[in-house]
Each structure stands twice: as C-alpha cells, then as structure tokens.
Amino acid sequence: MAEPVTIAVDAMGGDFGPDVVLAGAARALAADPDLHLVVVGPSAVVEPFAAGHDRARAQAASEVIEMGEHPAAAVRAKKDSSIVVGCRLVKEGAADGFFSAGSTGACLAAATLVVGRVKGVKRPALGQVLPAYARPCLLIDVGANADCKPEYLVQFAQMGIVYMEAIMGVENPRVGLLNIGAEDTKGDEFAQKAHGLLAASVPQFSGNCEGGNLMAGDFDVVVCDGFTGNVCLKTIEGTAKTLFKYVKDALMSSLPSKLGALLVKGDLARLKGKLSPEAYGGTPLLGVKGAVIVGHGSSSETAVANGIAVAATTVRANVAGVIADTVARTAKTTGAAQAREGEAAASDAR
Amino acid sequence: MAEPVTIAVDAMGGDFGPDVVLAGAARALAADPDLHLVVVGPSAVVEPFAAGHDRARAQAASEVIEMGEHPAAAVRAKKDSSIVVGCRLVKEGAADGFFSAGSTGACLAAATLVVGRVKGVKRPALGQVLPAYARPCLLIDVGANADCKPEYLVQFAQMGIVYMEAIMGVENPRVGLLNIGAEDTKGDEFAQKAHGLLAASVPQFSGNCEGGNLMAGDFDVVVCDGFTGNVCLKTIEGTAKTLFKYVKDALMSSLPSKLGALLVKGDLARLKGKLSPEAYGGTPLLGVKGAVIVGHGSSSETAVANGIAVAATTVRANVAGVIADTVARTAKTTGAAQAREGEAAASDAR
C-alpha cells in the first residue's frame, strides 16, 4: 500500500475543457487506490464528478484564468479562480499537491504567491523532461525566470537532480550547463560565471552541454536561464512538428512510399506518441512547497492522468523536503567554507 | 554572361580533407564559366589543382588552423595559414570573396581582423539559413557575438533582410525577434529593449518569433543574440538527428515496418538531404567587406560547390555594399530623428 496522498486538480485547465480533465482524473483514481482528489471548478462541473467517485471531493471556484491573461495580474484579480483556489488548498494543507493544464504563467504566479517557496530557494523553476535518445533529460528552467543570475543555476541543478533521482529513477544524474561550446571557457559572460559556480558546488556537474547534445542523451539534467530554456524547448517541439510534416510529405511523394506508408504508419504513430510532451506527465514547478505540476495546454485524458500521478509521486518522494535539505546543506557548506577562508585570511593578516 | 568574380578557397578547411574541397571547387568552376578561383593551401596541394584548371590559380599557405584552436590566438599566430592568407587576398583585392569549411571561429576572427568590417556595422554576424517548412528562414546571429547589446539586433535584421532578398530571392522578408512569447511586452530585459528598437527602425519587423515558429515558416529573418542563436541552431540540428534515429528505430521495430521501410527509404533519404545544413551552401558572415562564407565542417563536395557559388552570388549582388548603404541610411534617419528630438526638447525647455 502506498502512502495516501491528496491532489487538487484544476478542472478548468486545458484546451479541451473539463470533460477531458475529469476523465483523466477518473483514470488517475482508478490506477492508484491510495490517491484522493479535490476537483476544483464551478460547482456544476465538479460536484457531479465528486458524487460519482469515492475518493474525490469537490471544491467550488467560480472564476477561470484564461490562457491569454497576464499571469500575475490575473492571479491577484481572480481570487476565486480554479488555479488560485487549488493553490490555496495546498497552502492550507487540504491538499498535498496541485495539478493544472491551464496557463503555465498563472500556475507559476499562484504557486509562488499562494503556496510559497521552499525555504532557501531563491527562484522556483520549471523543469521539462525531454524525450532525449534512449534516456530522458530534464531541461530547467524552461520559462519561470526570463532574467536569471548565474547563482540561480546552481539551485536549478540541485532541484533537477532531486527530481530526476526521485521521480525518474535516474542514478547519479549527469548535470550539464547549456552553452555554446564544449570547452570550459566557452560562452557568454553569464555562462562563464555559471560554469565556475556549478563546478565549485555541484559534484554531479559534468560540463557544458551544447544545443546538439540536448536530445542526444548525453546529460540527465541541463540547466540554463529561463529565456534560453524556453526558446530551446519550443524549438525542439517546433522542429519535431516540422520534421513529422516533412516525413508525411515524403511518404506521399511517390507510389512506392505511399504503399510503404501503409505499412509503417502504425509504428510512426507510436513514435509520435512516445515523443509527445505529455508522455512524462507535465512540467514540475520545482522549489515551491508541496508539489505543483503543470500540464501542457493540449493535455489529453492520458496526459492529465499521468500529470496527477506525477504530482502524487512528487509528494510521496518528498521532493520539496529533499530540495529544502539540499539547499540548506549547500548554504551551510558554502557558509563554512567562507568562514574558514575568513579565518585563514585573518591568520594571514596577523 | 555573368560578372566575372574571383573567390579564394581554403583548400585545407573541412573534416574530409583537401580532396573533397578541391573536388567541390572543380564542380563550382564547371557550373559557372565566369567564376575564377584562388585555391589556398600548401603548394603540394594547390599547385596541381591550379595546373589542371583553366580559371584557377594557386596561392601557397604553409600553415593550417585546426578546429580546436583558440580562434583569435590562432589567427594572430598563424599568419601563413590558409584562412588568414585567404582573407588577406580579399583585403588586397586579389579576390572578391572567401570560402572556407574550416573553423568558424577562426574565419570570423580573420574576416574581422584582416578583411575588416563594412563601414557603420557595429558587429558582423553569422547567419544560418534554416530549412523551415515550405520556405527558408535566416537565423542571425548564430554565434559570432555571444554577448550582444539590443541595438546590434537592428543591424542583424538589416543585414539579414539584404541577404534574403539578394541571395534567396525573398520579397519583403518578414522579420521576427526570437523571444519567449508572442505578445509585444514578453521576454527578458534584453528582448524587450530589442523589440522597441526593431519596431522603431525596421519596417519589415513583424513581431516576436517563439522557438516553435522558427521551423514553421512564419518568418524569413529571425534575429537574436549569438548565444541564443547558437544554442537554437545546434538544438535544431540535434533534434533532427535524434528524430531520424527514432524514425529508423521505429521502421525496424516490426515486420510490416521493415517491409514498408524498403519502400520509403528512397524518399526519406532525399528528405534528409533536403534538410542537411549544406543544402544552402554555408553560413554567410554578414557585415564584413567582400563576401565571406563559412561551410559546415562536414561539408561534402556538393556543399563546397554550393558554398563557393553562394560566395560568388554574394559578390555579384553587392551584399556588402547594400548593407553599407542601408546602415548609413538608418544612421542618418536616426541621427535626424535624434536631432529633431533634441530641438523639440530644447524648444520645450525655453
């Protein structure tokens, strides 16, 4: 028997409406007998679901934050939105985690403002598990912090390591810094500073990761500022989309290919599914209390079920707690090292 | 009859050695009766080629800059390297342009130090034509300037427009700013400033381009700093490589697919060729005098021939001259606008 866990679910998130989200929620409940859900949304939507499912209860929320709204402004204005109410449930201990396939920016703002940061974490960050060749790779930050300081990347690395160990079962994750050359001295000013800090304080750091290594399976965690990470993530998704279009065109371009296409289409469709962003059950927002997982806007029923399951695993593995310990330990080590340096300097001066 | 043009060719550049480069040079000569070449490299390599080809002459260069060397240091130390000698030919007017498939960094350093910048250009930049869906897209800068100021991006846009019009035949190129959201106010500090400058001074500017739009064919020129551009370009190449590996695996994963693979492999191989970086004949270094084109390290004979042809077209279209005019015109307009603002401010103050 697994530890009982309660996840709040934003019934109103996602491009396909509450029916798809609730179908995913039902599937998550069926797969995990120790999972409890609080479905958040307008009463007319969430109450019938709660009535029909044993381990679910309804939490009314009259407002919805739309995808186009300014995240922080919407979170402040719409106190009774499903995203804000879901986060408040976590804050108040009525739920252990929160899943939404709604606006990433709004989830980020609500998680930071309402749920709150893990003690010692400077900036929560969004991680995205990429379907790199043969093994997954977590890219972090993919958009929570457009403007970063180099020292944030040390914590992104630490949080990424905890997530990949606890949730993806990766042993001794290899950490890379997204950069424009393999050599240690490469990069812009920001990357050069980040490289020095990572080398000094993250034992799992194994050097620079160029754009070309990202999908090759050479690293388990790759850290970068949220601007570069977001451009990179969307470039990967866009490149994959364009390539599949080109492949489709190629398979229609001659008679032999048209015949061959009939034979290969099953395996190609399976490949597309394997590479889709929903395969890994959403994007963890690391560095906030509890467990907050944001699903892709186009999340299907399966993606929602996976995302809720990841939220439950994140709670059970105590990812937030392990992050707090790691961050505190590093701060202590750095503090002790600084103190020793201070003593040495003082004794030199005598 | 086309205008006679002389291109210097680095015989020592490229991963496959001088035989492949020279075979490509021979092909370029055969395709263009008004093309003249100066092949640069050790006498034993370049003299037999010049003896065997009517419109080719040899230029001895005893040194070679290797791929791993520090670009600027190597350019300063190896004055008799094929890259430095090739650039000197352009500087002295013995050649109109230069093509090399050697170290991009060294070509960049030699072009800037030896050939020199176009008057008014703040930072030369590397452009890369991407095989975006249905139409090519120039990403600029892909690595010449890791640290950029927002105002550089205005010139990157202007240079990119000239190249896409003159070389790729694109009418009224649509210019995008690589950014992390479609709305005008999105992005980090750098992107927000660049957005304002582009909107004010580049009429062809049509807004932000997210990573997902890059390969979709939504823009003809996309500008960014050289760090983001390099990460992005290599991410696209790496994603394509990984996807083709996944497709290959999928086509081997069942008996029907294995049979189908025999029928589709011809068209898939053609697609791979169409998407390869060499399809567009190398990376132009825009903003330096003459025409400097850098080929991919793994350039084949065809890629070298294409690269030399692009260098010739760049000379004939007077890309450097048009860039000089555009930059001067903008500086004048901006200057006039600033003067007007100054007068207005002065009259306000009265």
Burial of residue A68 (CB within 10 Å: 0-12, 13-18, 19+) is exposed
Q: Which of B188, B233, B239 sits opposite A147 (nearest CB)?
A: B188
Residues B82 and B63: beta-carbon distance below 8 Å: yes
Q: What is the mean pLDDT of residues A257-271?
A: 90
> In the CATH scheme, what architecture does the domain A1-116+288-317 have?
3-Layer(aba) Sandwich (3.40)
Do the bridges between strand B56-60 and strand A125-130 make them parallel or antiparallel, or are there none, so unpaired? unpaired
Q: Tell me whether B187 touches chain A (CB under 8 Å).
A: yes
Does B266 sit within 8 Å of A257, measured CB to CB?
yes
Dist. CA A212–CA A210, nearest whole Å? 5
Dist. CA A292–CA A282, nearest whole Å? 10
B81 DSSP 8-state letter: B
Q: Are domains A1-116+288-317 and A129-277 of this chain identical in fold?
A: yes
Q: Is the pLDDT of residue A278 over 50?
A: yes
Q: Which of A188, A262, A264 sits opposite B261 (nearest CB)?
A: A264
| ipTM of the complex model | 0.88
Q: Which amino acid is at A192?
A: Q
Does B236 sit within 8 Å of A231, measured CB to CB?
no
Does A188 sit within 8 Å of B147, measured CB to CB?
yes
Dist. CA A175–CA A138, nearest whole Å? 9
Confidence of residue B341 (pLDDT cuts 50, 70, 90): very low
Q: What is the mean pLDDT of residues B213-238?
A: 95
Confidence of residue B346 (pLDDT cuts 50, 70, 90): very low
Domain B129-278 in CATH 3.40.718.10? The answer is yes
Residues A311 and A132: beta-carbon distance below 8 Å: no
Nearest CA in chain A to B256: A263
A117 DSSP 8-state letter: B
Burial of residue B346 (CB within 10 Å: 0-12, 13-18, 19+) is exposed
Q: Tell me whether A191 touches chain B (CB under 8 Å).
A: yes
Q: Which amino acid is at A311?
A: A
Interface subset of B 275-334, CB within 8 angstroms of A: 275
Show the 3-state SS of A191-258. Answer: HHHHHHHHHHHCCCEEEEECHHHCCCCCCCEEECCHHHHHHHHHHHHHHHHHHHHHHHHHHCCCHHHH
Dihedral angle, C-alpha A10, A11, A17, A20, nearest 10 °:
110
Burial of residue B151 (CB within 10 Å: 0-12, 13-18, 19+) is middle
Query: What is residue B284's predicted lDDT score, i.e. its pLDDT?
Result: 93
Query: What is residue A350's predicted lDDT score, i.e. its pLDDT?
Result: 41
Dist. CA A11–CA A38, nearest whole Å? 10
Interface subset of A 18-57, CB within 8 angstroms of B: none
Residues B303 and B295: beta-carbon distance below 8 Å: yes
Q: Which of A212, A225, A242 sits opposite B216 (nearest CB)?
A: A242
Q: What is the mean pLDDT of residues B158-181?
A: 95
pLDDT in tens, A6-27: 999 999 988 889 999 999 999 9
Q: Which of A176, A125, A116, A135 is nearest to A283 (CA)?
A: A125
**Phi, psi values for residue B32, rounded to 5°:** -135, 100
Does A187 sit within 8 Å of B146, measured CB to CB?
yes
A260 DSSP 8-state letter: H
CB pairs under 8 A between A and B: 202
Q: Which of A213, A260, A262 sits opposite B238 (nearest CB)?
A: A213
Dist. CA A28–CA A309, nearest whole Å? 6
Q: Which amino acid is at A248?
A: K
Q: Is the pLDDT of residue A348 over 90?
A: no
Interface subset of B 161-180, CB within 8 angstroms of A: 178-180
Q: How far is CA B334 from the centre of its chain?
A: 27
| Every domain of chain B and the residues it spans | 1-116+288-317, 129-278
**Which two tokens mark A283?**
């994007």
Angle (CA) A147 A148 A149, round 5°: 140
pLDDT in tens, B104-152: 889 999 999 999 999 999 999 999 999 999 889 999 999 999 999 999 9
Do the bridges between strand A291-294 and strand A97-100 make them parallel or antiparallel, or are there none, so unpaired? parallel
Closest CA–CA distance from residue B248 to any residue of chain A (Å)? 10
B94 DSSP 8-state letter: S
Q: Tell me whether B139 touches chain A (CB under 8 Å).
A: no
Q: Considering the domain A129-277 in this protein, what is its CATH number?
A: 3.40.718.10
pLDDT in tens, B215-226: 999 999 999 999
pLDDT in tens, A212-237: 999 999 999 999 999 999 999 999 99
B213 DSSP 8-state letter: G
Does A267 sit within 8 Å of B215, measured CB to CB?
no
